[in-house]
Amino acid sequence: MQFPEIRPYIFKIGTLEVRWYGLMYILGFAAAYFMARADARRKNLPLDKEGIADLIFALAVGLIVGARLGYALFYNFSIYFANPLKILAVWEGGMSFHGGLIGTVIAAFYFARKKNIGFLQVSDLITPAAPIGLGLGRLGNFINGELYGRVTDVPWGMVFPSGGPLPRHPSQLYEAVLEGPVLFFILWLVRRSGKAPSGVVLWVFLAMYGLFRSFVEMFREPDQQLGFLFSHLTMGQMLSIPLFLFGVAMTIISYRKHHRKSS
């Protein structure tokens, strides 16, 4: 299969481009705003629409700053250490989910402390919407023809413009499905049970993202500047496996504490 001819931008005015990838970020944050606002009303939390807007803004700043710094630290440390001002060149691309996660956690802690609300309560508001942003973001990666998979002979293998003449796994789509609708459905089931302790949605999210990302990394082309680590692991797996283990451990601990309190 040939990569479909999709322009990476929606429209262009002179040198200004409105790109699909940027739109995915906007849609993800919009979904987070409306879901968090509805959940805050349902749980009678002291957050009006302005408070939710402040939360989303703080998370957006934390995500972008964290994702950029994470990319510099985890994926291109030597280059950015030698040229630290290049970190500001976001138009050149390079964002790390794991760095963005750290940034959003820090932003959520700051917001929770400022509003005198528990961090886990804040996480319960924003985590359910995360798969929407993740799924859309992976579609943006596919439209950009980046982060493609390894060479393959499967019937749905795709020839990407910047990936050479051989067909590759469309691993962006694998991630879009697993990190998007599949993860959203899992979190919906956890919330729907009505028995989940505060914070468990976050812990399940971390565990399942770590699992899905580690799995898809087996089909995704390793970053060219890093290659494989320890002979067969990618940087994505090195960062995601501990995330999976941490999420599983925290889920078990949370349910045990909740069971002791209720018994």
The single-letter code of the amino acid at 176 is: A
pLDDT > 70? residue 91: no
Q: What is the mean pLDDT of the chain?
A: 91
- Provide the pLDDT for residue 233: 93
Q: Are strands 9-13 and 16-19 parallel, antiparallel or unpaired?
A: antiparallel
pLDDT > 90? residue 21: no
Q: What gap in Å lies between CA 68 and CA 89, rounded to an integer?
A: 9
- Provide the pLDDT for residue 84: 80
In terms of DSSP H, where are the helices of 127-199?
A: 130-144, 171-177, 183-192
In the numeric block, the tokens 């393959």 are attached to 152
Domain positions in the chain:
9-262
Long-range contacts of 117-121 (CB under 8 A, 24+ apart): 117/45, 117/46, 117/47, 118/198, 120/198, 120/199, 120/202, 121/43, 121/45, 121/198
Is residue 66 very low, low, confident or very high in pLDDT (cuts 50, 70, 90)? very high
Q: What gap in Å lies between CA 246 and CA 133, rounded to an integer?
A: 22
